Structure 1
Amino acid sequence: MFRRRTRTPADDSPVAAEDPKPLKKTQGKGRPTPKRRDAEGRRRTPVAAPVNRKEAYRRYRERVKAEQARRREAMLRGEEWALPARDRGPVRRFARDWVDSRRLPGQYFLPVVLFIMVLSLIPFPLPVRSVVLLVYTFSLPVIMALVVGNMIYVGMRVKKEAERRFPGEDIRGVGFYAAMRSTQMRFLRFPKPAVLPGGAPVRDK
């Protein structure tokens, strides 16, 4: 008898057709390319947290000190946001500029008084010393009268000009504000003068 040869059944599963188009290379590591701002943010050095309460308090004081220095510089420059409430507004700015653009008698009050006091302390010969003391005694009332008259004049003029230039604005206290500024020496005024005597603006150095 003839033996039947065992034949291996053919694999009928379909063979995948070879894609003629080359496969695209996978970009990166399988994730989208990060945006530039995100990459820059990750490259920045993170701020280390304070290790203890003492370190945190030190950093807090440094921040407060820096903010105070920045605010003071802005106040000296006359920036509106940094000024105290009594110095804010166009009316108060006008009063400051009006006083700063003039050489008024009140601003010389303190230097003259200090000069006379120093003269009275110098050990002059007796006749000269008597004259100096006499001048000191009688000059003080005269100087005070000039200062008071100067304050009244400045207060009335500034208030009148403010009413004319700023109708509808609150001008309460602007006369007294200007009068007090007129009694201060120029380099001691705060905020700093923005105009020179005569009205020309101060140029920053």
Structure 2
Amino acid sequence: MFGRKKDEPSAQDQVDQLAADAAVKGVGKGAPTPKRKEQEAARKRPLVPTDRKASKEAERIAVQDQRQKMRQALDTGDEKYLPLRDKGPQKRFARDYVDARFSLGEYLMFGALLFVVISFIIPSGSDALSYILIGFWVMFLAVFADVFILSRKLRKGLTQKFGDVERGTVWYGSMRSLQFRRLRLPKPQVQRGQYPA
């Protein structure tokens, strides 16, 4: 009742069968284990290349090629070679959304430059300078309100399209809106009014 069944093979028979199968299939290393000295010699590479001048030249060409690809990607928007801060579908959406709209922030630097130039021309005690200063602050507050509205709309669009918004994407889009359109990198890939779907 508790004994082995007569037709069941023994443990030794199973081992013998596995050994025979392995011999037929050719399972195994097929070669002796190499000595440690041989393995270390095979892995050894010189720390400094034998031809330093050629190595330096090859490295310089590789770096130059990588920079050229990155520069071209900044012009064309090719995701493969873009810098890490510009990569990803959410960053592309933010860029396209910002580039499609008119932003007051584009002209903030021009307004600041104009204010500096006028402040040198007009005497410091005149009322005209105070009006110009008030005008500059009004422009600054208008830009702040525009960026705030943009960030809300951008977050809403990102949430609708991607669900979860990556950290820093809304800030990325907001800072892009403060740059003059022609000087933005990566260069705009959409026309004004051509919002992303």
TM over 0.5: yes
Aligned to 1:113: 112
CA distance in 1, matches of 2:52, 2:85: 38
Deviation at 1:80, TM superposition (A): 0.8
1:159 aligns with 2:155: yes
CA distance in 2, matches of 1:76, 1:61: 23
1:197 aligns with 2:192: yes
Q: Kindly provide the amino acid, as one letter, of the partner of residue 170 in structure 2.
A: G
Do the aligned partners of 2:104 and 2:146 also contact (CA within 8 Å) in 1? yes
Aligned to 1:100: 99
Aligned to 1:142: 138
Do the aligned partners of 2:106 and 2:179 also contact (CA within 8 Å) in 1? yes
Deviations 1:142-179 (A, max 9, x none): 22211221111111110011111223x44333222211
Q: Kindly provide the amino acid, as one letter, of the partner of residue 190 in structure 2.
A: V
Paired residue total = 148
1:184 aligns with 2:179: yes
Do the aligned partners of 2:106 and 2:177 also contact (CA within 8 Å) in 1? yes
Bigger fraction of residues in helix: 2
Aligned to 1:26: none
Q: Kindly provide the amino acid, as one letter, of the partner of residue 100 in structure 2.
A: S
Do the aligned partners of 2:73 and 2:186 also contact (CA within 8 Å) in 1? no
Q: Which runs of 5+ in 1 are unaligned?
A: 1-49
Q: Kindly provide the amino acid, as one letter, of the partner of residue 197 in structure 1.
A: R
Q: Radius of gyration: which is bigger?
A: 1
Secondary structure at the residue paired with 2:126? helix
Percent identity (aligned): 34
Q: Which runs of 5+ in 2 are unaligned?
A: 1-48
Structure 1 residues 97 and 141, CA gap change in structure 2 (3 angstroms):
same
Q: Kindly provide the amino acid, as one letter, of the partner of residue 173 in structure 1.
A: G
CA distance in 2, matches of 1:103, 1:137: 24
Do the aligned partners of 2:79 and 2:87 also contact (CA within 8 Å) in 1? yes
Aligned to 1:61: 60
Structure 1 residues 51 and 89, CA gap change in structure 2 (3 angstroms):
closer
Deviations 1:100-133 (A, max 9, x none): 11111111111111122122223x6x59x93542
Instruction: Specify which of 167, 186, 191 is matched with residue 172 of structure 1.
Output: 167
Deviation at 1:89, TM superposition (A): 1.9
Deviation at 1:200, TM superposition (A): 8.3
CA distance in 2, matches of 1:78, 1:137: 39
Q: Which one has more relative contact order, counting CA pairs under 8 Å at least 6 apart? A: 2
CA distance in 1, matches of 2:84, 2:165: 13
TM superposition score normalised by structure 2: 0.64
